Amino acid sequence: MFMKKAFAAVLATAVLVAGAVEAKDLRVASNTTFPPFEFVNTKTQEITGFEMDLIRAMGKQAGYEVKITNMAFDGIIPAVLSGSVDVGASGFSVTEERKKRVLYSDTFYTSGLSLVTTKAKAGAVKSMKDLEGKTIGVQIGTTSHNAAKKVKGIRACCCSDSFSCEYTRRHNDANALCMGGRVVGAGLACQLVDIFLNTEFEGGRHQRRIDKLTALENR
């Protein structure tokens, strides 16, 4: 898992690396909302999980004291690139786009993307194409987010307040709601989902904008 000059933990899962790690402290960024890889033990408040155990073992073997910081998932790569942390360890999928910006460790886990819906709607959603025109929810900055943006007809919005959530529905007819796991708390997330699902598109002059977007998509 160690590389010659650095650490690297960002579908196969791996770890992201900034560059040479010279200090004795190994600064690790993670988003602790992805059990069993990383999560907060509610009894001890310790950041734990399979990947956290792995990165601690790696650090111990190399003589580093591992210090883990919990942050928004979409902020981890910028933190690695800025040098404010040395490693990103948060269940990162290996993508060609990310390879252009960061280094990876060897992959240590292979998985895929799955769709979750209600039993009543299970028969209607069997492929990505079946999502066209549907409302979906994803985590910002993930491969799921990137996959959702490629679905024809998806108009995704990133919201962390009720005003933006309401008016992206009223004016943009958004049909995919994206929220940052560390930006939006559980209570606010439920409120935003409720607003998103119960706000209707106003149409009228706003329909012209949607028509233009649709025309560009259909080229």
Q: Which residues are catalytic?
A: 171
Residue 142 and residue 73 in contact, taking contact as beta carbons nearer than 8 Å: yes
Which among 135, 218, 207 is positioned nearest to 178, based on CA atoms? 135
* DSSP structural state of residue 157: E
The Cα 140–Cα 127 span in angstroms is 21
Q: DSSP readout, 9-20?
A: ----EEEEE-S-
Listed in sequence order, the residues at least 6 apart from 10 whose beta carbon sits closer than 8 Å to its beta carbon are 16, 76, 77, 80, 88, 90, 92, 93, 94, 98, 102, 104
